[in-house]
Amino acid sequence: MKILVAVKRVVDFNAKIRVRSDGAGVDISNTKMSMNPFDEIAVEEAVRLREKGAATEVLAVSCGVAQCQETLRTAMAMGADRGVLVETDADLQPLAVAKLLRAVVEQEKPGLVILGKQAIDDDCNQTGQMLAALLDWPQAAFASKVDLNDGALTVKREIDGGLETVEARLPAIVTTDLRLNEPRYATLPNIMKAKKKPLSTTTPSTLGVDVTPRLTTLKVSEPLKRKGGGKVQDVQELVAKLRNEAKVIA
């Protein structure tokens, strides 16, 4: 069985972003870019399933600018067998990405698609669920454990207040939560090997997908700054202030 993983190129989780003073967006020029952390977990899970013999091939797909090739090379250095880039400079929103992925899925026919639950730039948490709807497949979102045995998929999911175990028919969509696994680091030999793995490129128009944004961003602003930095000397002062100044405890 083939597993498809979707990987997004995002601002590195350690990088500090700057809101543009004209309110037109976020300035990410000269900012370090990396693979979305939840997508690293997705790649790791797919590679582990192949290593266990539950899958035969791992295909990484990314949608976006030409530099997403680097993200795909990272996925291949982690163990993905090949990559597909859907190249476009357009502003891609989750519904458009889900449609692009559907088109790739229809060509590649994977038995399982694994995606990160959310990208750390737009924080949308939509693409996997949307892809499942478009394909009319079951979805197991926010996975903390994935078992794939003889064509049966069992997923433990993170829910508010605990965990839920779901059995789903294949083909299916899984989105990853934090505790699913700890992604491996790509080693230098594997980074070198990844350079020789096949990477093909297509475009939204070749796939016949209209990626016109449905949402218009009117303004991006900085959140109100919190006035912090207050200090207390000891526990007695803390409790007194909480009681008498902040009045948040009795």
Partner 1 sequence: MPDPMAILVIAEHDNRTLKSATSHAVTAAARLQGQVEVLVVGYQCGAVAQAAAGLRGVDKVHVAEAPYLATPTPENVAATAMTVLPGAYTHIVLAATSFGKNVSPRIAALLDVAQVSDVTAIESADTFVRPIYAGNALATVQSKDPIKVVTVRTTAFESAPNGGTAPIMAIEAAPDTGKSKVVAQELTKLERPELTGARVVIAGGRGLGSGENFKMLEALADKLQAAIGASRAAVDAGFVPNDYQVGQTGKVVAPDLYIAIGISGAIQHLAGMKDSKIIVAINKDPEAAIFQIADYGLVGDLFELVPQFTKELG
- Contacts with partner 1 in 72-91 (CB under 8 A)? none
Task: Select the residue interacting with partner 1 from 169, 187, 192, 195 (CB under 8 A).
Answer: 169
What is the amino acid identity at position 153? L
Backbone torsions φ then ψ of 246, nearest 5 degrees: -80, -25
> Could you tell me the end-to-end alpha-carbon distance of the chain, in angstroms, rounded to an integer?
61
Smallest distance, Å, CB 239 to partner 1? 5
Report the alpha-carbon distance of residue 174 to residue 218 in Å, rounded: 33
**Rule CB under 8 A: is residue 142 a binding residue for partner 1?**
yes
**Which one, 169 or 195, has the nearer CB to partner 1?**
169
Name the one range near partner 1 by CB under 8 A: 70-78, 103-111, 189-197, 219-227. 219-227
**Which one, 188 or 246, has the nearer CB to partner 1?**
246
Cis peptide before 37 (omega within 30 of 0): no
Which 231-250 positions form the footprint of partner 1 (CB under 8 A)?
Answer: 231-232, 234-236, 238-239, 241-242, 246, 248-249
**Rule CB under 8 A: is residue 24 a binding residue for partner 1?**
no
CB 143 within 8 A of CB 175: yes
Task: Select the residue interacting with partner 1 from 137, 181, 202, 204 (CB under 8 A).
Answer: 137
> 3-state DSSP call for residue 57?
strand
Report the alpha-carbon distance of residue 36 to residue 18 in Å, rounded: 19
**Rule CB under 8 A: is residue 33 a binding residue for partner 1?**
no
Task: Select the residue interacting with partner 1 from 34, 62, 139, 181 (CB under 8 A).
Answer: 139
Name the one range near partner 1 by CB under 8 A: 58-66, 73-81, 194-202, 211-219. 211-219
Task: Select the residue interacting with partner 1 from 36, 38, 39, 86 (CB under 8 A).
Answer: 38
Parallel, antiparallel, or unpaired: how do β-strands 199-202 and 82-87 relate? parallel
**Which one, 140 or 199, has the nearer CB to partner 1?**
140
Report the alpha-carbon distance of residue 242 to residue 248 in Å, rounded: 6
Report the alpha-carbon distance of residue 250 to residue 247 in Å, rounded: 7
**In the 8-state DSSP scheme, what is residue 187?**
P
**Rule CB under 8 A: is residue 202 a binding residue for partner 1?**
no
Compute how many other C-beta atoms are within 10 angstroms of the C-beta atom of residue 243: 12
**Rule CB under 8 A: is residue 131 a binding residue for partner 1?**
yes
Task: Select the residue interacting with partner 1 from 159, 187, 198, 205 (CB under 8 A).
Answer: 159
Question: Which residues are bridge partners to 116 per DSSP?
Answer: 176
